Amino acid sequence: MSIKAIRRAATVNAAHISAGNAPIYVDSDDDKLKMIPAGSGTTEVSIHDSASTNITTRNVGAVNGSTVSAVEHGDGFYHVTVLTLTATPLTLADATVGAGVKIYDFPVGQITVLNASGSVAETTTSAIATTLNSGVTYNWGVGTVTQANGTLATTEQNIINTTNGTSSTTINVAAAASSSTQTVAPLAYNGKTTAIDAFFNVGIAVATDIDADATTTWTGTITMSWMVNTNV
């Protein structure tokens, strides 16, 4: 029986790896470690092969609030953080036509955000006719500072770029989800003295679309790929 080889950083000849007389190899079709005892079928076990499946607790950040949870993949240097927002509350202020909330604290160090994406759905929980109007356009993004006005810009959306969504048309009923990504080149932030934060920000570009402070909740996922250097 022929033995398959696997290429990761370099090609490994499976014939050089054995348990007694039983060849061991990694099947490149399903990423499982397999052993072929003489005269029998294969015995297989799963292996972890990349940062996308490898959970880490080293040099990770911290979520903010009980409605945000995180799954941390990586190796302590390269990270993929998947944040889940579950009915995260956000009061959109009439005065600032929006709001922002911190969802994640990166660890102390030099942080380079390589890529990010997200998908969220808004639910208006206050009276629609007198607060956030029915089916109006909002802007959302993720940035290193909190929201200040109805049009998100610069550091209010430098992790995930601002994009539009449509608000609820019925109280307590979620609107359609809105998705966005990071479209700029990887950005480096000096968080050696003060850790870098990630804020989920929402703005209402048309001031007349919000008549009074509106209570809303947000559900979805935010995924960030980033690296940390703690030696700067």
CATH of the domain at 102: 2.60.120
Do residues 163 and 189 both lie within one domain?
A: yes
Q: What is the mean pLDDT of residues 52-80?
A: 92
Query: 63-79 burial by CB neighbour count: b if 16+ within 10 A, else e?
Result: bbeebbebebbbeeebb
Do residues 116 and 211 both lie within one domain?
A: yes
Q: Tokens 């007349």: give the residue.
A: 208
Assigned token pair, 118 = 């997200």
Q: Report if residue 57 sits inside a domain.
A: no
Identify the pLDDT of residue 124.
98
Measured CA to CA, the distance from residue 189 to residue 219 in angstroms comes to 27
Assigned token pair, 211 = 């008549």
**Higher-pLDDT residue of 152, 13:** 152
Identify the pLDDT of residue 7.
36
Do residues 100 and 13 both lie within one domain?
A: no
Do residues 93 and 189 both lie within one domain?
A: yes
Assigned token pair, 110 = 């030099």
| C-alpha gyration radius of the chain | 23
- 168: helix, coil or strand? coil
pLDDT grade for 19, boundaries at 50, 70 and 90:
very low
- The DSSP secondary structure of 101-148, one letter per residue, reads EEEEEPPSEEEEEEEEEEEEEEEE-S-TTTSBPTT-EEEEEEESS---
Identify the pLDDT of residue 53.
63
User: Beta 62-63 vs 137-143: how paired, if at all?
Assistant: unpaired
Q: Report if residue 51 sits inside a domain.
A: no
Measured CA to CA, the distance from residue 115 to residue 125 in angstroms comes to 32
Assigned token pair, 221 = 């996922």
pLDDT grade for 230, boundaries at 50, 70 and 90:
confident
Identify the pLDDT of residue 103.
98
pTM for this entry: 0.78
Q: Report if residue 56 sits inside a domain.
A: no
Do residues 20 and 135 both lie within one domain?
A: no
Supply the mean pLDDT for the chain: 84
CB contact at 8 A, 28 and 4: yes
Do residues 210 and 129 both lie within one domain?
A: yes
Q: Report if residue 152 sits inside a domain.
A: yes
Q: Tokens 């090609």: give the residue.
A: 11
Do residues 170 and 222 both lie within one domain?
A: yes
Do residues 11 and 107 both lie within one domain?
A: no
Range of the domain at 119: 62-229
User: Beta 109-124 vs 187-191: how paired, if at all?
Assistant: antiparallel
Number of domains in the chain: 2
Q: Report if residue 1 sits inside a domain.
A: no
Do residues 125 and 28 both lie within one domain?
A: no
Q: What is the mean pLDDT of residues 106-131?
A: 97
Do residues 143 and 179 both lie within one domain?
A: yes
